[in-house]
């Protein structure tokens, strides 16, 4: 059973910790000539963080690529982001991230205090499509790295997504 996570102090501390790590990743990427903005996505953005029983909480971030040496070299982009994210994770004594199909996921993190709630970071890599929709970098895994494919997958009807979310919030959808 899912429930809204109510400990605002914990959420603020955990989110701040995660946002700092994503921001450090963003700064490291500048050394690779990859210019990104970071955005919080998912339940935290909507102020609706949920938890399954005593399960972990995840914070979803987008690294929105504004410029890079070659937008068509998807494998290099994802690998570079993965390496930089891992540098930051290691600096916090956190194991390397997992490379899933559409995000890089940190291992579970917890603070060494009385609250044993675990949390993690899901980091998506996005860019703008020519028609103003968004694209997400996808790693199509086949079981053999030689056969894998990395590509930009357009997210349908994603132009003006933030305006659409604000309209829904004004209409009373979601928890404020």
* In the chain, where the domains are located: 2-170
Reference 159, options 124, 135, 123, 125; nearest CA is 135
Q: Which residues pair with 40 in a beta bridge?
A: 61
Spatial contact of 39 and 61, defined as CB atoms under 8 Å apart: yes
pLDDT at position 176? 43
pLDDT at position 27? 97
Spatial contact of 123 and 22, defined as CB atoms under 8 Å apart: yes
pTM as predicted: 0.84
How do the pLDDT tens digits run along the chain, 176 residues long?
Answer: 666 677 788 888 999 999 999 999 999 999 999 999 998 765 555 555 656 667 788 889 999 999 999 999 999 999 999 999 999 999 999 999 999 999 999 999 988 776 778 899 999 999 999 888 899 999 999 988 889 999 999 987 666 655 655 666 666 665 44
* CA distances in angstroms from 35 to 13, 75, 106, 119, listed in the order given: 27, 17, 22, 27
Q: Give the CATH number of domain 2-170.
A: 3.30.460.90
Reference 5, options 46, 41, 39, 40; nearest CA is 46
Distance CA 104, CA 78 (A): 9
* CA distances in angstroms from 85 to 13, 45, 123, 135, listed in the order given: 20, 21, 9, 20
Q: How many CA atoms lie within 13 A of 155 on its CB side?
A: 17
> Using CB atoms within 10 A of its CB, is residue 118 exposed (0-12), middle (13-18) or buried (19+)?
middle
Enter the DSSP assignment of 70: -
Q: Which residues pair with 137 in a beta bridge?
A: 152
């Amino acid at each position: 059973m899912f429930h809204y996570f109510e400990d605002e102090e914990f959420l603020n501390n955990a989110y701040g910790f995660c946002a700092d790590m994503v921001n450090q990743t963003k700064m490291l990427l500048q050394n690779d000539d990859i210019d990104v903005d970071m955005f919080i996505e998912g339940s935290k953005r909507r102020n609706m963080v949920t938890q399954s029983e005593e399960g972990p909480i995840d914070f979803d971030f987008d690294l929105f690529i504004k410029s890079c040496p070659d937008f068509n070299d998807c494998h290099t982009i994802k690998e570079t982001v993965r390496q930089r994210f891992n540098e930051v994770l290691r600096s916090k004594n956190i194991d390397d991230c997992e490379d899933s199909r559409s995000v890089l996921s940190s291992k579970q993190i917890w603070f060494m205090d009385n609250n044993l709630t675990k949390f993690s970071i899901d980091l998506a890599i996005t860019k703008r499509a020519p028609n103003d929709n968004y694209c997400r970098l996808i790693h199509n895994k086949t079981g053999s790295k030689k056969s894998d494919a990395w590509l930009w997958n357009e997210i349908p009807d994603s132009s003006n997504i933030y305006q659409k979310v604000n309209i829904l919030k004004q209409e009373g959808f979601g928890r404020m």
